[in-house]
Amino acid sequence: MAGAVIGYCILALFAAFVVVLVVRALLAKKPDSGSSDYSPAEIDSDEIAEKLAGAVRIKTVTLPDNSCDGSIFFEYQRYLEKTFPAVAAAAEKINVNKYAVIYKVKGSDETLLPAAVLAHQDVVPAEPEGWEVDPFGGVIKDGYVYGRGSQDMKSQMIAALEGLELLLKEGRSLKRTVLFCFGHDEELRGTYGALEISRYLEASGVRLEYVIDEGGTILDGKILGIDNKIALIGTCEKGYADFILEVDKDGGHASAPTRRTAVGLLAEAIYKIERKKMRPHWTTPTKEMFKALAPHMNFGFKLALANRDILSPILKPLLCVVSPFTNCLMRTTMAPTQAEGASTPNTLPGVAKGTVNCRINTGETVESTEKYIRKVVGDKVKISTLEGSIDPSPVSVTDSDAYRKLEKTISEVFSGYIVAPYPFIAASDAKHYYNLTDCVYRFTPFEKTVEDANRIHGLNERQDISMLCRGTQFFKRLYENTCL
């Protein structure tokens, strides 16, 4: 009898637990989207495509360092000033550290903090082999602009400038000052461009209302049980570090190998790194992301995410295997990318080296990641860090007027897509601007297929012209919502 009572008690407690989970899920309701008077601007697709194509034709490949001849960037700036005459006429031009540039379009109300719109002038190299077209030809075909930088990120720069060009040509005046901040070495961490712009603005006593840069993305929500598209705003970005693993052993002829070889020990270290991944954890941006998305999920996903705090021991490992995207959100990733041994196939190398690329999650550091790797691989492997490592950025606030207006703009221009903050898993120039504002956001206003996303830094990079028009509408509306 006592056993039965205990059993009934356990069953009752379990039932109560389930009820609590269900009630919490039901309470996660969609927010009121509110009303809007938005009417999309008419964009001449042929004209905007040709503007981007002309930008692509100027070969602004990232300089190895700032001592190199960067006159191509001055040519590019002259092109922008010719292409956007209303912006150029209204703007004060300030060159920073030679080739970086600020175009300051002054607003009428000096009590309003300026808005900073970021983009980078530089692109990664592109050799013609394997391309369908000249990578710097700016070819327009089949509804796309082809060429290096057409996505990353001259398209966003052109859309941002065109959005303001249209406003100014309509005779409308800014109340809030807009600063177009264009670095020239984002592909090499932005230390000569964006960082120096940020320092210049700080020394000039400038504080910013918000920063908008590339980074956030638009995804199909089905990956998270949502029957809609998701527009994600990057509120921070992961840290970055490349660690070199090195094993020194006696070399020799491969016909008489030693018991343990340098390559074998290196391979073992890499195997351990792939097997013993860093532990997942909830960060502020991942919590905010799932809180925003949970009300829109189907009931199974909603039940799990609305009860994230209770179901965390199950959810964290589950999200790490659902997809590479959710895995990146939850932990520091460590990806072996390079390996080097002997120069001939029949030689035992005296030294074997490998590179592990790490994208460091919020709450961790380059130092703590290196310490973890040392613990995993053991003392037979030397570890060093390549230049350019950086800790994760601070996390931008989402309880701000700037964030709410950015969210509103995205919802208007992208037909009611669901907007949420998230941790940007790559890197951008935006990380250098936290000294000027707590509202640093990353959003790329272009929908793209997986195939086209994979063309960035690869062969046949191209920008969908219809999305270029939508991106222009986005920036025009952003200025209307935040700067008029």
Catalytic machinery residues: 122, 186
| Separation of alpha carbons 40 and 38, rounded Å | 6
| Separation of alpha carbons 313 and 315, rounded Å | 6
The count of other CB atoms within 10 Å of the CB of residue 55 is 25
**Peptide bond preceding 330 in cis form (omega within 30 of 0):** no
| Separation of alpha carbons 80 and 182, rounded Å | 11
Encoding tokens for residue 123?
């692109």
Contacts of 133 (CB under 8 A, 6+ apart): 139, 141, 146, 147, 460
Q: For residue 233, with 0-12 CB atoms within 10 Å meaning exposed, 13-18 middle and 19 or more buried, which class applies?
A: buried
Query: Which uninterrupted H or E stretch holds 410?
Result: helix 401-413
Tell me which DSSP letter residue 425 carries: S
Encoding tokens for residue 309?
């705090």
Contacts of 379 (CB under 8 A, 6+ apart): none
* Tally of helices (H runs) and strands (E runs) in the chain: 15, 18
CA quadruple 312, 313, 317, 323: dihedral, nearest 10: -20
State the distance between the two ends of the chain, measured CA to CA, in whole angstroms.
Answer: 75
440 near 181, Cβ under 8 Å? no
**b/e code 319-342 from CB counts within 10 Å (16+ = b):** bbeeeeebbbbbbbbbebeeeebb
Q: Which residues pair with 237 in a beta bridge?
A: 424
| Separation of alpha carbons 443 and 93, rounded Å | 25
| Separation of alpha carbons 216 and 188, rounded Å | 20
